[in-house]
Amino acid sequence: MRSDCFECALRELGESSPFGSPQAYYALVEIEATDPAHDRARLETTLCEAIEAGRALDAVLAASLDEAARRRSTKSCTGACAAAARFPPNTASVD
């Protein structure tokens, strides 16, 4: 999602950004774990590899289910923010 939508959603939810510096785009990723400890380790490895390869700049993982639910609300809120501000739809593709 674009930074303007992300920041708008954070404001609407009364949240602050979990990232150290703003970026042009953000990706909210949710996985359904069958083995939470193992799947978290695999996700951490995958994210580290993406950062090392230059495909990502930063990553934040939810520390709890409550935090994950709050971050998930950010994703839901971005549509309302975009509609209210009349942002054009994001057409960026990720390879």
Has residue 67 been placed in a domain?
yes
Has residue 73 been placed in a domain?
yes
Residue 40 to residue 56: CA distance in whole angstroms: 18
Please name the amino acid found at residue 74. Answer: T
pLDDT at 66: 80
Element (H or E) spanning 49, and its range? helix 36-52
Has residue 53 been placed in a domain?
no
- pTM as predicted: 0.63
> Phi/psi of residue 2, each to 5°?
-70, 155
pLDDT at 49: 95
**pLDDT band (50, 70, 90) for residue 48:** very high
For residue range 18-28, what is the model confidence (pLDDT) as tens digits? 888 888 888 87
Domain membership of residue 23 as a residue range: 3-34+63-85
Number of structural domains found in the chain: 1
Q: Does residue 75 surpass a pLDDT of 70?
A: no
Contact assessment for residue 12 and residue 76, using Cβ atoms and an 8 Å cutoff: no
Has residue 69 been placed in a domain?
yes
